[in-house]
Structure 1
Amino acid sequence: MLQRAWSSDRRLTAISRGGLSAPARQAVVDRQVTPGCSVLDYGCGRGDDVRALQHLDCQAVGWDPFYKPDAKLEPADVVLLTYVLNVIEDPNERRKTLKGAWDLTGTVLVASARLTWEKSKVKGETFGDGLLTSRQTFQHLFKASELRDYVQEVTGVRTVSAAPGVVYAFKDETARLSYLAQRIVPDAQWLASEDTTSAIAAVVDHVERRGRVPRMEEVPQPMAELLRHLRPSELSRLVRDSADQNKVEEGAKRSTLNTLLFLAVELFNGRGPFNSLPLNVQLDVRAFFSSYKEACQRSDRLLLKLRDDAYIRGAMNASAVGKLTPTALYVHQRALDRLPTVLRLYEHCASIAAGRPQEWTLAKLRHQGRAVSWLDYPDFDTDPHPRTLSSYQVDLKTLETSFTSYADSQNRPLLHRKHEFLAADDPDAERYQRLTAAEVKAGLYEHPHLIGTENGWEAELIRCGRELRGHRLVRRYTE
């Protein structure tokens, strides 16, 4: 445990925030930080995360060598190590600090650092393995894969990239697998129930979506109380008589594919024994496969298919969602789970390796080579031709990442034919498709090489005598 003051004046790197830092917010979103849990912010700076987490009913405390050097260091469920590793100029001290944070961790360590793409924002001279800024502060900028590997090496456990520059290290293998399962198949929402009849209806709904009858351990406690007087055989009969068998079969197929997806991602990140799997995954394996061995063999074959360009291109051609270009398939976040399972695996492997950004709209999957980009179009739903704000890419062969921001660009790339990125039954798809048809009819797509950016698109609108009012194309009137 490292309690002495750090050598350089690192207090100058501590900034004030109006809310949670990005790593702390990610941990809350991922349900690693929940009300009632204990949190230690190790190197808390001015303590903004501590105060924000206390407002969320967390037992949060902070320690910092300058701002809170006398705070008592005690183990906590969650330890936050937020943008600390990159400001330590001594590699040995950096390692000791990470080890000290890990020793205090009860469940999960959330380690974060600034990444190499921020180099343009950091002005300074080379010093050791980083930069010495004009303010005499130090910055070691990590590659995304470097941070993940570094935390993994020091802690001795498999780590997961939660977001760019944010890594989770779990003390318990079961907790890591539960987190992976949650990312791939988020917990289904149970229907509200106030009496036995509505509780049975909620179980029927679950069976239709999952494809199997749940164990009582999976049922929310208040609902289980309502069903406690029913024998298991009686509940199964009631569900069997009420459930739509076609929906049950579709649910079973979906759960089978989701289980294969989870086991393939688990192998990519490190596979554990059967009894370390979350209970719901264990029950899915027993319900939909002859054995754990068979399930693992099928998932291994699925993972191997990621190496086959022809197979990946075939899956993209067969996909019912997404826009296929000569180089990649683009799909909206809302349609991602409609992709063929091997393409969902493709995107998940990239997110586990380098972290999926907190804000993104479209995923871009290259069909030659293996690279995934997450593109952010914050106005996708309100702007008929949304502008790109940023792009984050990871190359799965090298694990190199890159980030491009268009925030200051005067001529940003923009999207056309928005409906093509969505599933056909998306509530907005028909409206977007009507706009595309009107634009095609007006001649706006006659010169596709001109319309990929703001300026080119505006010029074509003027040429065709049109303008946009929301998602309606109207004639442009001049004085």
Structure 2
Amino acid sequence: MVEQTWGSDRRLTAISRANLSVPARQAMVDKQVLPGRTVLDYGCGRGGDVRGLKLLDCQAAGWDPFYQPDTRLEPADVVLLTYVLNVIEDPIERRKTLKEAWTLASRVLVASARLTWEKSKVRGEEFGDGLLTSRQTFQHLFGTAELRSYVEEVTGVRTISAAPGIVYAFKDESARLGYVAQRIIPDARWLASEDTASAIAAVVDHVEHRGRLPRMEEVPQPMAELLRHLGPNEIRRLVRDSADPAKVDQGSKRATLNTLLFLAVELFNGRGPFSGLPLSIQLDVRAFFSSYREACQRSDRLLLKLRDDPYVRGAMNASAVGKLTPTALYVHRRALDRMPTVLRLYEHCASIAAGRPQSWTLAKLRHQGRAVSWLDYPDFDSDPHPRIRSSYQVDLKTLEASYTSYADSKNRPLLHRKHEFIAPDDPDTARYERLTAAEVRAGLYEHPHLIGTEKGWEAELNRCGRTLRGHRLVRARDA
């Protein structure tokens, strides 16, 4: 094992944490850090993540040249390299540190770094390829594309951006593909089973949603035990007699489109062999396509459609969900999977390249040029006209990202006609529609150019003598 030498006094960059860091939390959300897997926090600082992970029953250890120098460095399933690359002023040493972390990871390396849009928070003078602060600490701020390509170059594997500034590098290609599938295709749903009859009902439900019989390797172990005494032909007959053909047909179409979506994203990210695909995807290909080659050809055509402006605009016009403006389609995260497949691909490609932020409400897909923004309206459900908190945009041509915070703005943009962003059958649609209709009757939308910001909207409410009580519009004198 190569001994890591740390040059400057980087201990000053280590902060005390009351909660898990953003990268550690993201790795848990993405089921990369799990109880039973070993975790090494390489460059752990004061050890906040290690303590937090241990409380969650993870087998975590931390090494740090100042705070934990005596920890024995041993390979771990997951290695966290959390905001370490930023603070190394020597590019050669920075690269060696990343390489050592990669050597220690037996399953996945979670590499994170501060990004260029944080430059306003870092005060210092230019030094090398970064900034030297007044505390004599160093910061190299990465671009999103720079971080991903840097990790790929050093590790020699294709990586995935899990979130802004967080990159996963998998040791095994099947693990990477499994993670991509997890992000794109919903987990198989299984009804609870306590006896053979309920287990068969669960299989029938699965067939109606997936469009094909599951293999026993896909079935939860307790359910497989309940079905073990039945032969494959008998299970097939029972399902055929019980399943709704119309639902099975819909499930087949949904699974076919999801498979195409997965393969198209894989082409965007670099497609691997059929044998490396997750088992469920292999079975979908065999069930819904004549061959893997045919499935890939169809997904290739789908990916090419992203370059076709009229086709993308047509898909936006045809979308059953979302608000279409002269420049973009805006869709609530609850309705994202209801978009046409080419638009889902559009959003997924951006997320794989640069990562979705952890908090977001609406996805904005531009139809001129290719860029996706994730907009955060934290009070969307409770506020009749929610204010924006932040915007994270990815340009698909350059793969560069930008971030805008509205936290300190005195006149934030806000939303109207909330029902247009969600699906028609969303439980909140009727309530939002009633509010919009009342606001139209009151004349609040007569000057649309005035109502897009907090101050303009308040002025129009005053002009019309109205105020809001939750999602009800009332006369101001009645308030």
Aligned position for 2:267? 267
In the TM superposition, 1:10-409 aligns within 5 A as 10-409=10-409
Letter matched to residue 367 of structure 1: H
| Distance (Å, rounded) in 2 between the aligned partners of 1:191 and 1:118 | 46
Deviates more, 1:80-89 or 1:193-202: 193-202
Aligned residues of 1:3 and 1:65 also touching (Cα < 8 A) = no
| Distance (Å, rounded) in 2 between the aligned partners of 1:453 and 1:74 | 54
Pairs aligned (count):
479
Aligned residues of 2:208 and 2:251 also touching (Cα < 8 A) = yes
| Distance (Å, rounded) in 2 between the aligned partners of 1:377 and 1:103 | 40
Identity of aligned residues (%): 83
Equivalent position SS for 2:365: strand
Aligned residues of 1:40 and 1:80 also touching (Cα < 8 A) = yes
Deviates more, 1:161-170 or 1:183-192: 183-192
TM-score by length of 1: 0.99
What displacement does 1:186 show?
2.6
| Distance (Å, rounded) in 1 between the aligned partners of 2:396 and 2:30 | 23
Aligned residues of 2:4 and 2:97 also touching (Cα < 8 A) = no
Unaligned runs of 5+ in 1: none
C-alpha RMSD over aligned residues: 0.9
Deviates more, 1:469-478 or 1:17-26: 469-478
| Distance (Å, rounded) in 1 between the aligned partners of 2:10 and 2:190 | 48
1:47-67 deviations in whole A, cap 9, x for unaligned?
A: 111111111111100000000
TM-score by length of 2: 0.99
| Distance (Å, rounded) in 2 between the aligned partners of 1:58 and 1:421 | 39
Deviates more, 1:187-196 or 1:26-35: 187-196
Aligned residues of 1:98 and 1:154 also touching (Cα < 8 A) = yes
What displacement does 1:190 show?
1.2
| Distance (Å, rounded) in 1 between the aligned partners of 2:321 and 2:4 | 56
1:294-350 deviations in whole A, cap 9, x for unaligned?
A: 000000000001001011001000111000000000000000000000000000000
Aligned residues of 1:5 and 1:69 also touching (Cα < 8 A) = no
Aligned residues of 1:360 and 1:375 also touching (Cα < 8 A) = yes
Letter matched to residue 366 of structure 2: R
| Distance (Å, rounded) in 2 between the aligned partners of 1:5 and 1:106 | 23
Aligned residues of 1:333 and 1:363 also touching (Cα < 8 A) = yes
What displacement does 1:164 show?
0.2
| Distance (Å, rounded) in 2 between the aligned partners of 1:443 and 1:181 | 48
| Distance (Å, rounded) in 2 between the aligned partners of 1:246 and 1:235 | 20
What displacement does 1:399 show?
1.2
| Distance (Å, rounded) in 2 between the aligned partners of 1:92 and 1:186 | 42
What displacement does 1:5 show?
4.2
Aligned residues of 1:99 and 1:155 also touching (Cα < 8 A) = yes
| Distance (Å, rounded) in 2 between the aligned partners of 1:316 and 1:460 | 31
What displacement does 1:188 show?
2.2
| Distance (Å, rounded) in 2 between the aligned partners of 1:102 and 1:4 | 13
Equivalent position SS for 2:175: helix
Equivalent position SS for 1:365: strand
Q: Closer, same or farther in 2 for the Cα pair 1:5/1:69, shift >3 Å?
A: farther
What displacement does 1:3 show?
3.1
| Distance (Å, rounded) in 1 between the aligned partners of 2:186 and 2:316 | 24
Letter matched to residue 256 of structure 2: T
Letter matched to residue 130 of structure 1: G
Letter matched to residue 422 of structure 1: I
Equivalent position SS for 2:326: coil
| Distance (Å, rounded) in 2 between the aligned partners of 1:463 and 1:197 | 65
What displacement does 1:111 show?
0.1
Aligned residues of 1:412 and 1:453 also touching (Cα < 8 A) = yes
What displacement does 1:478 show?
7.7
Q: Closer, same or farther in 2 for the Cα pair 1:275/1:4, shift >3 Å?
A: closer
1:336-394 deviations in whole A, cap 9, x for unaligned?
A: 00000000000000001111111100000000000000000011001000000000001
1:165-217 deviations in whole A, cap 9, x for unaligned?
A: 00000000100000000000131231111111111111111111100010000
What displacement does 1:410 show?
1.1
Q: Closer, same or farther in 2 for the Cα pair 1:4/1:152, shift >3 Å?
A: closer
Equivalent position SS for 2:252: helix
| Distance (Å, rounded) in 1 between the aligned partners of 2:26 and 2:259 | 25
Query: 2:430 aligned with 1:430, yes or no?
Result: yes
| Distance (Å, rounded) in 1 between the aligned partners of 2:119 and 2:186 | 35
| Distance (Å, rounded) in 2 between the aligned partners of 1:254 and 1:364 | 24
Aligned residues of 1:74 and 1:104 also touching (Cα < 8 A) = yes
| Distance (Å, rounded) in 2 between the aligned partners of 1:240 and 1:14 | 61
| Structure 1 moving runs of 4+ over 4 Å | none
| Distance (Å, rounded) in 2 between the aligned partners of 1:314 and 1:186 | 26
